[in-house]
Structure 1
Amino acid sequence: MNAPAVPSWDPALEARHAPLIATLERLIPCMEVPLHLPWIDAIASLKKERGAVIMAHSYQSPEIFHGVADITGDSLALAQAAAKCDSDLIVLCGVHFMAESAKILAPDKTVLIPDMQAGCSLASSITAEDVRALRAQHPGVPVVSYVNTSAAVKAESDACCTSANAVHMVNAVAAEFGVNQVIFLPDRYLGAWVATQTPVELVLWHGQCEVHEKFTAMEARHTRERFDAKIVAHPECSPEVLAEADFVGSTSAMGKWLEKEKPVRVAMITECSMADNLRNQFPQVEFIKPCNLCPHMKRITLPNIHACLRDMRNEIHVPEDVIVRARKALDRMLAVGRGEKV
């Protein structure tokens, strides 16, 4: 299919989007704003015409996160929003497993993703067959799957979790099933961190996030020493990196920590756009960026959001039997909620 024509510039855009322009000029190079604005305006028109709701993950670039999204947040927030969404059309600006989760929680809705190739190294690290093999090796042990997994893997799991509620979910599932051991997959680093926070014994898988695994303890130490910055790290980082951190937490917990601690200077050891988007909320904080981009998140762009809405392309389909079984795992996660403390 041909690429969409670039929307034309209209001087009236500046007046129509003045508050947004002010926000974006604080977060991205100001010369980029006029390039994004026609797309943002065109998407706004299409969104209204289609009656669509656009959801964007915290790792989306500012022109998407602030420019076109109706609902923003971490994986748990987007899942909660999908379950409660009134619109019949959801455009999920994130990676494929997030769009699948939205479809599972809102099976009667049309769910689109701007790029079908927006994947995840964690989701691709494990299959439903792998989960069945783990169950055979550990009979009677329940499975908690990180939400960064395919619908098929969720369907083989007893519960899902996000980084925001992983510890709480492990404890809740162990109590519900009356066991002291849980299979936790697929992120070995998140699993290792959870294992330090719970008495439940964890059986771990060997998956890891290609963004967070790249950070090193040396980078964290250098950032603290060179810039006198507080270090805030996502639990998908290695134990060596987490040992250097002043705070370890999910994307939502990072924001709560900033609000509570109000550091002068902070380094966010996570995907780059997380810091970009938080800068708007915390203008008094100086953000140092020892930063890695998620190549999958960055496959989502304003042009392909526009194309997906215009042509109703890239619809997410999940088999009904998978939806039924995966929904049970996701419902357990939603029932527990965040369960995190800062």
Structure 2
Amino acid sequence: MWAGAADIVDGPGGFSGVEASEEWAAEIKRLARQRGATILAHNYQLPAIQDIADHVGDSLALSRLAAEVPEDEIVFCGVHFMAETAKILSPAKTVLIPDQRAGCSLADSITADQLREWKADYPQAIVVSYVNTTAEIKALTDICCTSSNAVEVVESIDPNREILFLPDQFLGAHVKRVTKRENLHIWAGECHVHAGINGDELAAKSRVHPDAELYVHPECGCATSALYLAGEGFVAEDKVKILSTGGMLDAARTTGAKQVLVATEIGMLHQLRRAAPDVDFMAVNDRASCGYMKMITPAALLRCLVEGKDEVHVDLDTAHVASKSVQRMIEIGNPGGGE
């Protein structure tokens, strides 16, 4: 065993004591091969974790990939609901998360009991849930959606049917604005990181960089402000792009802009810079870092591969029902990116 494994320390912010290095990377690769494991990393992970992973992407894309790869063990470097989704789509595989304490403020913003009560108030409504939800919530959902296909999912539903959209209020507002559906009820949940990227910051950065394109995640509190700036002529309309993380990467590969302001979790900048190294990508808020995502440290990943921890379990009945809401989304059309 590599001596670094003995240096792992568990603390309130996660596992530490091991730094990313060439030796660490070689040991991670060796252990993954030994275990027959595939390492998946979300776009918001630490750069070192993204660089060591076999595949990097958004949560749904990675979960679907987990079902397709030949390996029987999946190490999901992301937050807990993402690893759950991988388990839902790959029930026969072993799914590990390097630190099971890596939660999600958005997924935690609605409980199964709260959803049951909401559904009781609207018994004929269709429940549309963002994939950034727990397995329990997915099992109570009619159709899942991603940030890139939420509009398409909602538009596929009978316009006379009421819709309960959850849990993200900003994505819900974006969908309601585009579809103009008055019978779309929105849960007041949010991602604390995205909600903290505000319109004032976006406006200030846009004034300093007037020629920059704006990539804004629809979970952001500033998404409405971005559209307002465009509508008022402060920013050219064609420079404002409301995009999922996958959509941001697609846009980066084809942009002609020299500068891009990015409103999402700062881990995304690493992949954007790799996709378009000649473009200057700048965070709208450079403090927009998810502490849960960053719990997947080099030490946590090493521990995971050495000890086989932490395994993610989803009750088989729950997984079976939850998978139907994801499958209905896929049948509607392009499932797009995870978030």
**1:140 alignment counterpart:** 124
| TM-score scaled by length of structure 2 | 0.86
- Counterpart check, 1:48 vs 2:44: no
What is the match of residue 47 of structure 2?
Answer: 62
**Structure 2 counterparts to residues 288-307 of structure 1, below 5 A:** 288-290=282-284, 291=286, 292-307=288-303
> 1:76·1:164 contact (CA, 8 Å) conserved in 2?
no
1:308 has 2:300 as partner: no
Q: Which has the higher contact order (CA 8 A, sep 6+)?
A: 2
The answer on 1:157 being equivalent to 2:151 is: no
Q: Are the aligned partners of 2:253 and 2:275 in contact in 1 as well (CA < 8 Å)?
A: no
1:237-258 superposed Cα distances (whole Å, 9 cap, x missing partner): 1244332471111001112222
Mapped pair 1:189 → 2:170: yes
Corresponding residue number in structure 1 for 2:5: 4
Code of the residue aligned with 2:265 in structure 1: it is E
TM-score normalised over the length of structure 1: 0.85
**2:249 is the counterpart of 1:255:** yes
Task: Work out the CA distance in 2 between the residues paired with 1:195 and 1:332.
Answer: 21
After TM superposition, give the deviation of residue 35 of structure 1 in Å: 4.4
Between stretches 143-152 and 193-202, larger displacement belongs to 193-202
Alignment equivalent of 2:96, drawn from 112, 125, 138: 112
Q: Secondary structure at the match of 1:54?
A: strand
* Separation in 2, partners of 1:181, 1:227: 42
- The gaps in structure 1 that reach 5 residues or longer are 8-33
Partner-residue secondary structure (3-state), 1:72: strand
For residue 78 of structure 1, what is the aligned residue in structure 2?
A: 62
Question: Match for 1:218 among 200, 217, 221?
Answer: 200
Runs of 4+ in structure 1 over 6 Å off: none
Q: For 1:197 and 1:36, locate their aligned partners in 2 and report how far apart those are by CA, in whole Å.
A: 46
CA displacement 1:119-154 (0-9 Å, x = unmatched): 111111101111111111111111011111111111
Q: Percent identity?
A: 42
Q: 1:338 aligns with which of 311, 329, 335?
A: 335
Structure 2 letter corresponding to 1:197: V
Flag structure 2 segments of 5+ consecutive residues without an equivalent. 9-18, 231-239
Q: Which amino acid aligns with 2:293?
A: M
Count of residues in Structure 1 that have an aligned counterpart in Structure 2: 308
Q: Mark the CA change 1:333 to 1:37 in structure 2 (over 3 Å): closer, same or farther.
A: farther
Is the contact made by 1:114 and 1:314 (CA closer than 8 Å) also made in structure 2? yes
Distance 1:277 1:6, change over 3 A: farther
What amino acid sits opposite 1:276 in the alignment?
H
| Structure 1 residues 92-107: aligned runs within 5 Å | 92-107=76-91
| 1:334–1:305 distance in 2 versus 1, CA, 3 Å | farther
1:55 partner SS: strand
Equivalents in 2 of 1:270, 1:87: separation in Å?
Answer: 32
Alignment of 1:270 onto 2:253: no
